[in-house]
Amino acid sequence: MEEMLRFFYKKLWILNILFAIYLIFYLDGRPSIGVAGQNGTAVNLTCTNDTCLNEGNCTTDGGNGTLIQCSCRSGWTGERCERDVCSLGNHVEIDDITRGIHFTTENATTVRGRCDKNLSLGWYRFTSGVGWKMPQVCPAIGQCGAEFPMWLNDSYPENDTFGHEAKMCIHFPVNRDDACCLLHMTIEIKMCKSYAVYKLDSTVNCDASFCVGLETPCENDTESETGFTPCTKMTTVEHSTTMGYITETPGPQHPCTNTTLCQNGGTCDDGVGNYTGNYTCLCPATHTGLHCESEVNTNPPPSNVGMIVGIIIGSLLLVVILVLVGILIFKKKSRLRVDPQKENVLPITPEPSEPSFDETTLEKKN
C-alpha cells in the first residue's frame, strides 16, 4: 500500500497533465452545445447557408463557437426552422361554430359569452363548418358569441411561404366613433393552400374573443357536409312508374375520396364546401411536398451526455488521487514526529527484593 502511495505521489504531476490534455481535446472535438432558445438551436459549430432553413437567421454566442441559434421567420419553427406551421402537429385545431358571425350571445349558454383571455400564445387553425376566415368588417356587439367581438382590420396575405402581421380590432360597447377599433392587437397569419393559420395570444379583456367564420346555415331545401354555406340543392330521387326504375341525382365529387393522393401519413383536405377539385395535403412534421412525398432532412440535436460523464469521471479520478496523496503525507509526518516527554528517559530497573526468611528456617540453622 505504501509503495503504491509513493508511486502516485511521484507521478501526480504527470496525471494532472494527462487529465488537462484529455479535457482540452474532448471539449474541442465535441459537437456544438445545444441550448434551446425561443426557436430552437442549430447543430453546426459555425453558421453556414444550410444551418437555418427557410430563410432563418443564424446567430452565434459571440464567436466562441459553442452555441448557434436559428431565429425562424414567421410561419416556420423547429431547431433549424424546418417545420411548417401549416403541417399537422405544428398548430392547434379549434372546432367551434359559435365563433361564426351568425352566432350571437343570445344563443350562448352563458350570459357574458366567450372569453379568450386564457388563450396561450401559438398557431391555431379553425376547422368548424362556419369557415376559417375572420370578418373584415366590424361585427355587432354580441356577434360571434362574444360581448366584445374581435375582427380583422387588415387584408389576408397572398404569399403562402411566410406569415405576415395583421391588425385585430376589438369592438367595445361605447358611444364613440372609434368604438369598432378602440383597442387593437397584432397577430400573424399564414396562408396554407385552402385555409389559414393564425398566431394568436390571450386577449386584454375577458369579454373579448376572436371572431372566426363567415358561413351561414343552409336553408331548408339545401345541404352541405358541414350544414353551412356554400350549400347545394338536396339530392332528389326520381321515380318512373312506366319505365320501372329509380334514378338518383348524384352529388358533387370530392378529390379527397382518392385515399392515395397524400402519402406518408398525410391527410387530404379539399376545404369546407369546396367542390371545384382543389385539395391540399396536410403533411406530418417528418415529410413535406405537394403530396407529402419528400422527407424532411433534420439532424438530431447534439447531446451533452458524453461531456458530462467525462467531466464527472475526471473529477472523481482527481479526488481519489488527492486523497491518496493526503494519506501518504499524513503517514510520512507521523513517522517523523518525536514525543518530547519520552526523550532522555532511562529504563527503570526493578530493585531486588529482600530475601524473606521464615522462623522455621532460622531455628534449624541455630
Task: Supply φ then ψ for residue 298, to 5 degrees.
Answer: -120, 140
Using the predicted structure, report yes or no on whether residue 37 has a pLDDT greater than 70.
Answer: no
Flag whether 335 is in a domain.
no
Q: Give me the number of domains the chain comprises.
A: 2
H or E segment to which residue 3 belongs = helix 2-10
Say which residue, 265 or 236, is predicted with more confidence: 265
Report which of residues 274 and 352 the model is more confident about.
352
Same structural domain, 27 and 52 = yes
- Domain assignment present for residue 115? The answer is yes
Q: Give the model confidence (pLDDT) of 179-201 as tens digits.
A: 999 889 999 999 998 899 999 99
Nearest-5° Cα angle at 301, 295 to 305: 145
In a domain, 127, yes or no: yes
Same domain? For 63 and 132 the reply is: no
Considering 189, 210, 231, which residue would you say is the last residue of a domain? Answer: 210
Q: Please tell me which residue, 312 or 200, carries the higher pLDDT value.
A: 200
pLDDT in tens, 200-209: 999 977 889 9
* Residue 138: inside a domain: yes
Dihedrals phi, psi of 363, to nearest 5 degrees? -65, -40
Q: In the prediction, which pLDDT does 29 show?
A: 45
Cell of 309: 460523464
Contacts of 254 (CB under 8 A, 6+ apart): 270, 275
Residue 99 covered by a domain: yes
| pLDDT on residue 345 | 46
Q: Are residues 47 and 126 in the same domain?
A: no
Residue 152: pLDDT band (50, 70, 90) is: very high
Give the C-alpha separation, 245 to 118, whole Å.
Answer: 59
Helices and strands, counts by H and E, the chain: 4, 19
Residue of 306, 322, 332, 365 lying closest to 25 (CA atoms): 306
Confidence of residue 236 (pLDDT cuts 50, 70, 90): low
316 or 36, greater pLDDT:
316
Q: Is the pLDDT of residue 53 over 90?
A: yes
| Domain residue limits at 45 | 2-84
**Percent of the chain residues topping a pLDDT of 70:** 64
Going by C-alpha positions, the residue among 202, 226, 233, 228 that lies closest to residue 215 is 228
Please classify residue 228 by burial: count the beta carbons closer than 10 Å to its beta carbon, then call 0-12 exposed, 13-18 middle and 19+ buried. Answer: buried
- 2-10 vs 12-29: helix axis angle to the nearest 10? 60
Return the higher-pLDDT residue of 136 and 313. 136
Same domain assignment for residues 159 and 194: yes
Whether 121 and 202 share a structural domain: yes
Among 68, 84, 100, residue at a domain's last position: 84
Question: Stretch 108-133: mean pLDDT, rounded?
Answer: 83
205 and 96 fall within a common domain: yes
pTM, to two decimals: 0.54
What's the CA dihedral at 97, 100, 106, 110 to 10 degrees? 50
Distance CA 366, CA 347 (A): 42
pLDDT greater at residue 249 or residue 176: 176
Decide: 123 and 84 in contact? Cβ < 8 Å.
no
User: Are 10 and 65 found together in one domain?
Assistant: yes
240 close to 247: Cβ distance less than 8 angstroms: yes
Mean pLDDT of 10-28: 62
pLDDT confidence tier of residue 305, bands split at 50, 70 and 90: low
Question: pLDDT value at position 284?
Answer: 86
